[in-house]
Amino acid sequence: MQNFATRYVASVSVVCIGLALVACNRSDKPETGTRNYEARGIVRGFAPDHTTIDIEHETIPGFMPSMTMPFTARDSKEIANLQIGDGISFRIDVTANDVWIAHVKKISTNEVQLPGATPSPRSSKTASRRLKEGDAMPVFELTNEKGERVTLDSFRGRPWILTFIFTRCPMPNFCPRMAKNFAALQSVIKSGDGAFAQTRLLSITIDPQFDSPAILKDYGLHEGADPKIWTFATGATSEIEDLTRGFAVYTEREGGTINHGLTTALIDRDGNIAKLWRGNAWTTDEAIAALHTVTQP
């Protein structure tokens, strides 16, 4: 059987969306180890500072399918004169820790070939209320990477942190960053004591149709997860949708893939939401500081 690393590279076809990528004042010349992909798309929007641009792009062979997502141009002059609806060609540069675009040029929209959108399936349950800090964590029933049942009671009496992931996400700033943050937190938890050492981590997939327990188990092994601390979970589509709606994690199927945002939450020992982090900008130091506030005697 293929190991996860091989299967991960071979099956990468989906990407996460969320916060705009961080702009840097570096040259657009490819760096050592940078992967480069030529792409075409349609401009769909801009960030207020005009350094980040939303592009609906074609399928990019070997990288990701057609979707709409934000990109940062390291040279903001390249996108300064663009308008919503413009057709563009551009190069995507990807390193282990960053993603940006360069060589942006206007082209005819007729040159851009986009597939039709695929509507997301909707849950039959009533829409969940948006959760906020201080609210009780809602009940849920999921399945972990071992095929075992996971519920709110699985974490009762100890602090825990949950986030939403997507095993086929190739963008280093999004789901892979969440995995790296959790790996770093896991190391700190292992070296801690008292209630802090009882902290648990839960990564919930938003792609239950693909991310089976076996896939999540391989993903966890690839990320160095200790199953005593860090759990990966999948579940019924309706159950996942209730959680993503509650935590305001935007998800939408488009062109056969999934666009989504990010939310990470700290749950205290009484099962209440102590802290919420929106997007991908939170750091392990922030999470550790928040953990200390809920693990003090």
Residue boundaries of the structural domains of the chain: 21-111, 141-295
Average pLDDT, integer, range 243-252: 83
The per-residue pLDDT for 23 is 34
Nearest-angstrom CA–CA distance, 56 and 114? 8
Nearest-angstrom CA–CA distance, 175 and 169? 6
- What's the DSSP call for residue 60? B
21-111: CATH topology:
OB fold (Dihydrolipoamide Acetyltransferase, E2P) (2.40.50)
Q: Which tops the pLDDT comparison, 256 or 138?
A: 138
Cα torsion through 220, 223, 226, 231, rounded to 10: -40
- Does 255 have pLDDT greater than 90? no
The per-residue pLDDT for 60 is 86
CA torsion through residues 123, 129, 134, 139, sign: negative
- Does 234 have pLDDT greater than 90? yes
- Does 279 have pLDDT greater than 90? no
Q: Please report, rounded to a whole number, the percentage of residues in the chain having pLDDT higher than 70.
A: 80
The per-residue pLDDT for 182 is 97
- Does 212 have pLDDT greater than 50? yes
CB 51 within 8 A of CB 73: yes
141-295: CATH topology:
Glutaredoxin (3.40.30)
Task: Tell me the pLDDT tens digit for each residue of 124-144.
Answer: 343 456 899 999 999 999 999
Tokens representing 229 are 């601390």
